[in-house]
Amino acid sequence: MKNEVIFQDLGQISYQQAWNHQQCLLEEVIAIKKINRQQPNSSPQKHYLIFCEHPPVYTLGRSGSKSNLLLNEEQLTAGGFEFFKINRGGDITYHGLGQIVAYPIFDLDCFFTDVHRYIRYLEEIVIKMLIEYGIVAGREEGFTGVWLEANSSQPKRKICAIGVHLSRWVTMHGFALNVNTNLAHFANIIPCGIEDKDKTITSMQQELGTEIDIQEVKNKLLYHFAQQFDYDYAPAAATMQK
């Protein structure tokens, strides 16, 4: 039997609320896993896929440096930004409206136990979805995420950042895809700690020159998630209180 993944679209939600929700689901999945190890097949394992958008916020991964945040506390407050140091991998990134943030809460014991393969799968989902919009993207050696090659007028551009955390092979955090994102907000950080002059940040809107239907992008991502991880998903409305 294929795995079943429960989908939740939380819409616009604060970073703290989404983080708390992820943690609750992670603990639920781990608890089921422990029970099943003591009493095999007593309860089907659950997997979740969350989509959401956050109000402007900068997050710093466990291997990052706060020096890559170019604003002080007063400037953060004045600009309407939040800041969190969190437990995912990677350095600093920005989340804001017009960006699709995907948080898979998957028990990789039910798929495969290989974190590098898992990250490649997340990248592949975004790469395949972007092709549907005529955006040719790929990977950049030595870096995670999804990138566009340099051309005669632009350097290499990162369109999707990835940072994950695993506990007992259960995943949390995930990727942030720039759809209609305000790219000016990336000027307040050294994105992902990458200071190369030949690399920058982009969005689908920036590449295509028009605002993108974000719900359409979500639908396409859902399809590619199910295809890439070979599962059946059961869409469900989010019930958490915002």
Judged against a pLDDT cut of 60, whether residue 238 lies above it is answered with no
pLDDT recorded at residue 236: 60
pLDDT recorded at residue 241: 45
Judged against a pLDDT cut of 70, whether residue 134 lies above it is answered with yes
pLDDT recorded at residue 242: 44
Look at residue 126 and give its three-state secondary structure: helix
Structure confidence by residue, pLDDT tens digits, 7-62: 999 999 999 999 999 999 999 999 999 998 888 777 889 999 999 999 999 999 88
> DSSP label at 122?
H
pLDDT recorded at residue 49: 97
**Please, what are the domains in the chain?**
4-235 (3.30.930.10)
Q: What percent of the chain stands above pLDDT 70?
A: 95
Judged against a pLDDT cut of 60, whether residue 239 lies above it is answered with no
pTM of the model: 0.93
Establish whether 110 is a catalytic residue. no
Structure confidence by residue, pLDDT tens digits, 200-211: 999 999 999 999
**Of 52, 110, 160, 192, which one is the catalytic site residue?**
192
Q: Which long-range contacts (CB under 8 A, 24 or more apart) does 220-225 make?
A: 220/129, 220/132, 221/51, 221/100, 221/102, 221/125, 221/126, 221/129, 221/177, 222/7, 222/49, 224/124, 224/125, 224/126, 224/128, 224/129, 225/5, 225/49, 225/102, 225/104, 225/125
Structure confidence by residue, pLDDT tens digits, 141-195: 988 999 999 988 899 999 999 999 999 999 999 999 999 999 999 999 887 666 6
Look at residue 16 and give its three-state secondary structure: helix
Average pLDDT, the chain: 92
pLDDT recorded at residue 192: 63
pLDDT recorded at residue 191: 73
Q: How far apart are CA 218 and CA 223, in angstroms?
A: 9
